[in-house]
Amino acid sequence: MSLPIPVTAADWRHHPLPELRYLLPIERHFTATEMAELQLGFLPDDMGDKWFIYWEDNILYFHRSWTGFAIYVVSFEVATDGSGQIKACWVNDDPAQHRSFATPAEQHSLTSTIKSLLLGRTSTSITPAE
């Protein structure tokens, strides 16, 4: 059985997060297994896939696949046992690139994207940080 190949920044066209951004308050803890899944990222197969997601230097980048615009940039603190937690999450606040939502809706959008695209492969749970 071959191991999955992680998605990299070079796999899809994308743009950096604009200066117009804000810090989203969000706390989540991930098991070592979940962290391994996050680090694989997500490469869109077709135009119906809305996201291009990759991991680099303990940061998970979420880009819209059609435009390449960065929507979320999430940094992680990774423990020696491989588990981790969100350290900070920046959200694109440029109205020409992303329609920002109120904080709870933006938190829901991010966590549901993580659950459905990144953790759905072998695990589906995200637990709040304690």
Query: For 52-81, b where at least 16 C-beta lie within 10 A, e where not — what string?
Result: bbbbeeeebbbbbbeeebbbbbbebeeeee
**Is 21 among the domain residues?**
yes
**Is 66 among the domain residues?**
yes
**Could you tell me the CA-to-CA distances from 48 to 31, 32, 44, 70 in Å, in that order?**
30, 30, 8, 18
**Is 128 among the domain residues?**
no
Q: In the prediction, which pLDDT does 2 show?
A: 57
**Is 35 among the domain residues?**
yes
**Is 126 among the domain residues?**
no
pTM: 0.89
pLDDT in tens, 8-38: 999 999 999 999 999 999 999 999 999 999 9
**Is 16 among the domain residues?**
yes
Residue 98 structural domain: 9-118
Number of domains in the chain: 1
**Is 101 among the domain residues?**
yes
**Is 2 among the domain residues?**
no
Residues of the chain short of pLDDT 70, as ranges, are 1-3, 120-130
